[in-house]
Structure 1
Amino acid sequence: MEEEEEPPVNHRRQICNGCDRPNPICICHVIPADPIPTRTEIFILCHPHESRHKLNTTSLLVKSLRHVTRIPGRRLLRRHISAAGETSPPPPPTIYLFPHSPSSPAVTISEFKSLNLLNQGEISNPPPLRLIVFDATWKHAKEMVKASEKVLRETGAVKVCLDTEIDASVSGGSIYDSELLLRKEPLGGCVSTAEAVARCLGVIEPDGEEIERKLISVLKEMVKLQSKYLKPMNPRPKLLKKRFQNQQLVDEDEDEE
């Protein structure tokens, strides 16, 4: 008798149905069982290349927050952010998150909160808000913002940035302020999409601090598990030098006191 051939071994990674990540780095245990509700409606324009990146963090937001719409593409269209429909005029205030630059200034999210846009009505019942985020490499994100300028103007979108200062003289950095360096950012102070949204909601949402804490805990767990399978990345020399100089200034100030 002929020997039966053994079935081929399936070496493909098993993917968790809950978080869509490989089973060894499943993060279902930290993703909120019920997506977190927010007054802010979040639209994330996700570059096609970024959606395939294994350290992309947009999926964390989609799984963790109730009012998130992920839009694949390189350019924002009016129908993308009006698909949900405006129940009554005028449309809600719209902001888009992108770093400040000399040629294209932005107000910090804290400054924006102090404007009348967020002070209408009772403090206990603030108006809804639309937040547009561009998820891509910084090079692609700049191109996406430029390509979306017409829609941003039509919607009256205000450009906002995080309160953390972006240091253009420093390259490198980490996915967030931690000892885990997995994905270098091009400028000092840059963060991942998930952290940027978390920090932003932390300021503008009534329960912002709690929402921010939950989202950051999910992000940290993802990076912690992922770090077991990736070689940690060290900061670039310019970033190390900058941090050393900043620490020297702190030490000198303490000595003078």
Structure 2
Amino acid sequence: MRDVCWRCRRPRPVCYCALLPSLPTRTRVVLLQHPRERRVGIGTARMTHLSLPNSELHEGVVFEEDPRIMALAADPTTAVLFPGGDPDPAAGPPVLSLLVVDGTWWQARKMLAVNPRLAAVRRIGVTPRAPGNYRIRREPRPECLATVEAVASALGALEGEPARFDEMLRAFEFMVDRQIEHQARSDGPRRRSRGPAASPLGPLRPYLAAPERVVLVEGGANSGWPADAGAAGPRSELVHLVASRASGERFEAFLRPRRPLGPSVAHQLEVPERRLLDGEEAGAALARFRAFVGPGGVLGAWGAFTADLLAQEGLGRPPSLDLRYLCARHLRRRPGGVANGARALLCGEPTEPAEPTPRGSGRAGRTLGWLEVVLARLLDLAGEEDVAARGAA
């Protein structure tokens, strides 16, 4: 077993404790660390906590029953540090407590989603004075810095002393440089790698830094006509379409049936029949959907059903990800429906997955909510594989 420093929990040769400052602050910094992030050796929440005497470090996913965190969430002088928040934190009401969600981009979004009182707290962001230095880990957006970088920048703005909090970055820079050196001089000949595709989740790697490129989509069809109806052509047509992005954008369209509505379609899709009959013209709805996907969008769906419907409607075959296939490859078994697949992927997580918020009407909207859970988990797993592969290189 390696000799590990009890304080920073890093191997002794790369211990950064000697570089840690002790910086008093007016602002109470409260770090909320996702349990999976605690196991990441190159994480920076503990480094941040050790640098700030006026700080707390809590581990968990759901804090709704935590009296300390809920008391802070109810305090008007508390703010949450999160990408996309107010970029000028010193301009609003004074911030005496700063809640910092520590995890991957998807873990952080999930933590806010399952903590509604935390999600309702005022959010502040930071505008980096320079590009982030987290060269050993990918960040999804330029403003998504390492936790220690984001906290140093926020405290500099809140307390009006940016240079003083730059001292927090010395240990961080040391850790990054040592990790890169270790990767460059790893012992023995490098094994030939088959590349990212060797991993079951390899197809997701291009989207780790830009998850908003994946457009999750689910469709509902008008089908079930009697065999003697005499209608030529395909037996199904798209009548309901919902989609979403990681950025929070949503799309929904009801397409007016071009054939008689099947007798049980409205019941199966769990939407009022009148909404289907009063839907918009198919060409207009699909034009809106093309604009929503955009030139760089990649469709993500559970199986091929929705992609087939879209192709049948003349949309062609845009780049796509079959999340059912990726889920099956990771689990090494058939996942069943999307809800079962999501629960299987989250098996062993600190919290049992709850029914997600529907992202549209009827059954399609409910399925889309589960698809968001599946994609978030698969991206987390792909990111962890990527970090592990680069660390072992």
Which TM class, normalised by the smaller chain length?
Answer: 0.5 to 0.7
Matched, 1:29 2:18: yes
CA-to-partner distance for each residue in 1:174-220, whole Å, 9 max, x for gaps?
A: xx634x72111122332111111111011111444302x11112211
Structure 1 residue corresponding to 2:116, chosen from 149, 161, 165? 149
- How many residue pairs match? The answer is 187
Give, as a single letter, the amino acid of the residue that structure 1 aligns with 2:61.
R
Whole-Å separation in 1 of the counterparts to 2:118 and 2:43:
25
What is the DSSP-based 3-state SS (H/G/I as helix, E as strand, rest coil) of the residue aligned with 1:98?
strand
Whole-Å separation in 2 of the counterparts to 1:44 and 1:138:
15
RCO higher in structure (CA 8 A, sep ≥6) = 1
Matched, 1:13 2:9: no
Whole-Å separation in 1 of the counterparts to 2:99 and 2:132:
23
Matched, 1:95 2:72: no
Whole-Å separation in 1 of the counterparts to 2:83 and 2:6:
35
Whole-Å separation in 2 of the counterparts to 1:231 and 1:184:
18
In the alignment, which residue of structure 1 is the partner of 2:96? 129
Give, as a single letter, the amino acid of the residue that structure 1 aligns with 2:100.
V
Whole-Å separation in 2 of the counterparts to 1:203 and 1:81:
23
Alignment of 1:79-228 (within 5 A): 79-81=67-69, 91=75, 93-100=77-84, 106-108=85-87, 110=88, 112-115=89-92, 117-118=93-94, 129-153=96-120, 157-164=121-128, 177-178=132-133, 181-211=135-165, 213-228=166-181
Matched, 1:38 2:25: yes
What is the DSSP-based 3-state SS (H/G/I as helix, E as strand, rest coil) of the residue aligned with 2:68?
helix
What is the DSSP-based 3-state SS (H/G/I as helix, E as strand, rest coil) of the residue aligned with 2:156?
helix
Root-mean-square deviation over aligned CA pairs: 3.0
Whole-Å separation in 2 of the counterparts to 1:40 and 1:81:
15
Q: Is the 8 A contact 2:132 2:142 kept in 1?
A: no
In the alignment, which residue of structure 1 is the partner of 2:378? none
TM superposition shift of 1:44: 1.1
| Contiguous gaps of at least 5 residues in structure 1 | 1-11, 101-105, 119-127, 166-175, 240-257
Whole-Å separation in 2 of the counterparts to 1:76 and 1:43:
13
Whole-Å separation in 1 of the counterparts to 2:60 and 2:75:
24
Q: Is the 8 A contact 1:58 1:194 kept in 2?
A: yes
Give the direction of change, closer, same or farther, for the CA distance of 1:48–1:91 in structure 2 (3 Å limit). Answer: closer
CA-to-partner distance for each residue in 1:66-108, whole Å, 9 max, x for gaps?
A: 111111111233513367x9xxxx94611101122xxxxx311
Q: Is the 8 A contact 2:102 2:147 kept in 1?
A: yes
What is the DSSP-based 3-state SS (H/G/I as helix, E as strand, rest coil) of the residue aligned with 1:189?
coil
What is the DSSP-based 3-state SS (H/G/I as helix, E as strand, rest coil) of the residue aligned with 1:227?
helix
TM superposition shift of 1:231: 5.5
TM-score, normalising length: structure 1: 0.64
Identity %: 28
In the alignment, which residue of structure 2 is the partner of 1:229? 182
Give, as a single letter, the amino acid of the residue that structure 1 aligns with 2:139.
E
Of the two, which has the highest radius of gyration?
2
In the alignment, which residue of structure 1 is the partner of 2:354? none
Which structure dedicates a bigger proportion of its chain to helix? Answer: 2
In the alignment, which residue of structure 2 is the partner of 1:73? 60
Give the direction of change, closer, same or farther, for the CA distance of 1:132–1:74 in structure 2 (3 Å limit). Answer: same
Q: Is the 8 A contact 2:27 2:97 kept in 1?
A: yes
Q: Is the 8 A contact 1:62 1:69 kept in 2?
A: yes
TM superposition shift of 1:48: 0.7
| Contiguous gaps of at least 5 residues in structure 2 | 186-205, 210-393
In the alignment, which residue of structure 2 is the partner of 1:247? none
Q: Is the 8 A contact 2:128 2:153 kept in 1?
A: no
